[in-house]
Amino acid sequence: MTAKRSGNAGFTLLELLISMTILVLIFVAILGALQVGSRSWEGGEQRAEQNQRTRSLVDLLARELMMLYPLRVKEEDKDIIVFRGTADSLSFATLPQSYGAEPFSHMIPIVTYSVQLDRGLVATTSYPLAGRGGAFDATTGQTTTLDDRVLEARFRYLVPEGKPEERLTPIWRDSWDPSRDTSAILPSPAVRPGGAQRPLRGSERLPLAVEITLTIRQPRRQGTRDLILPPLVFPVQMGQTL
């Protein structure tokens, strides 16, 4: 009587190669999904950071314009409110935002918005009441960068037309110069040499609103892109009857 030998069952070389190929494909798919998820997460975080910076900039501009102060200055024979705008800059007086130990922190500043090369949107602050810079002088003040991503800022102004009693429809203009607005003759007299007096001609009006269109450079995974934000409209409520 002879005993039978039982052999151990195993995998052939072809079966091993097929199994290893399937495992490699599974690992590659999982790794690809992880990479796609990581890129999406990083992109979402980056977009959220950029959006937060944009919101902070908009809040800052709105806060500054809401604190607008009707500071009057004299230019030659005109008595005007400090508020002058062009297509690429805006100057106005605002209330002090701090009362500290810093020089002139308790005085009314003149703020000028503009875009400078390699600095983005900047705010130049001067103090005409302290003799540091004129009413519309943006060359002698202290310049602070608001957002270095801004490539261009375009300003427009909703300007009242005609005299107040005419009630004409306001229109958008690319500039506002109070010294050229002859809608009102102020009653305060100006004493000329020899004792003669004449009324100071100046405007008591301001634009009804300011529109700011910003072009921002945003970083991307492959370089950068220039994004034009929707126009931001800020009402000028100072001096208006609600």
CA angle centred on 157, ends 69 and 66, rounded to 5°: 30
Tell whether the model's pLDDT for residue 59 goes beyond 70: yes
Residue 176 lies in a domain: yes
Residue 33 lies in a domain: no
Residue 25 lies in a domain: no
Q: What is the mean pLDDT of residues 50-58?
A: 87
Look up the pTM and report it: 0.70
Residue 26 lies in a domain: no
Strand order in the sheet with 83-85: 83-85, 90-93, 110-116, 120-126, 142-147
- Contacts of range 120-124, beta carbons closer than 8 Å, 24 or more positions apart: 120/145, 120/146, 120/147, 120/148, 120/149, 120/150, 120/151, 121/57, 121/145, 121/146, 121/147, 121/148, 121/150, 121/153, 121/214, 122/146, 123/64
Domain count for the chain: 1
Please give the pLDDT value at position 32.
81
Residue 85 lies in a domain: yes
CA distances from 11 to 5, 8, 231 (A): 19, 10, 70
Please give the pLDDT value at position 162.
73
Give the domain range for residue 180. Answer: 49-235
**Residue 116 in contact with residue 147, Cβ under 8 Å?**
no
Tell whether the model's pLDDT for residue 201 goes beyond 60: no
Q: What is the mean pLDDT of residues 185-196?
A: 50
Residue 86 lies in a domain: yes
Residue 22 lies in a domain: no
Tell whether the model's pLDDT for residue 227 goes beyond 80: yes
CA angle centred on 222, ends 216 and 225, rounded to 5°: 20
Give the model confidence (pLDDT) of 30-47 as tens digits. 888 887 777 777 767 777
Residue 215 CA to residue 228 CA, distance in Å, equals: 4
Please give the pLDDT value at position 181.
72
Residue 44 lies in a domain: no
